C-alpha cells in the first residue's frame, strides 16, 4: 500500500457562509420579538402556530409559507413588507451574492 499523504490545509480561513433567506428571516423575527419583550409562546399563540414551529422558524430550520410569515409578523406588529424589507437590507450588508433559496 502507498504512503498516506495528509490533506493540505488552506492557508487562509474560508469566507463566512452567507445566511440563507430563512435564516435571515428567523433572526429578524427573533430580534423583533425580543425588542418588543414578547415570549415565544405568546407570539406563536397569536400567530396560530405551535411554539415549537416558531422556534424552528426563528432558528432558520424551517422554510415558512408566506401565510405563516404574515401571521408571525402581524403578531409582532409588522407588515409582511416591513419584515421583507428588513431582511433584504440585512442581506445586502453581506458581501458577495445573495442566496434567496435553499
State the Cα angle at 101 between 23 and 84, rounded to 5°.
60
Q: Which CATH superfamily is domain 21-92 in?
A: lambda repressor-like DNA-binding domains (1.10.260.40)
**For residue 100, what is the DSSP state?**
-
Cα distance between residue 93 and residue 34, in whole Å: 22
DSSP secondary structure, 29-46, as one string: HHHHHHHTT--HHHHHHH
pTM value > 0.85: no
In the chain, domain spans = 21-92
pLDDT in tens, the chain (102 residues): 556 665 555 555 455 778 899 999 999 999 999 999 999 999 999 999 999 999 999 999 999 999 999 999 999 999 999 999 999 998 888 655 556 665
Amino acid at each position: 500500500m502507498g504512503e498516506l499523504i495528509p490533506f493540505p490545509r488552506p492557508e487562509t480561513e474560508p469566507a463566512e457562509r452567507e445566511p440563507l433567506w430563512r435564516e435571515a428571516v428567523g433572526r429578524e423575527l427573533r430580534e423583533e420579538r425580543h425588542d418588543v419583550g414578547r415570549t415565544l409562546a405568546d407570539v406563536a399563540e397569536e400567530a396560530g402556530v405551535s411554539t415549537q414551529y416558531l422556534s424552528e422558524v426563528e432558528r432558520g430550520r424551517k422554510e415558512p409559507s408566506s401565510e405563516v410569515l404574515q401571521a408571525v409578523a402581524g403578531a409582532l406588529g409588522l407588515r409582511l413588507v416591513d419584515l421583507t424589507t428588513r431582511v433584504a437590507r440585512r442581506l445586502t450588508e453581506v458581501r458577495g451574492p445573495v442566496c434567496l433559496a435553499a
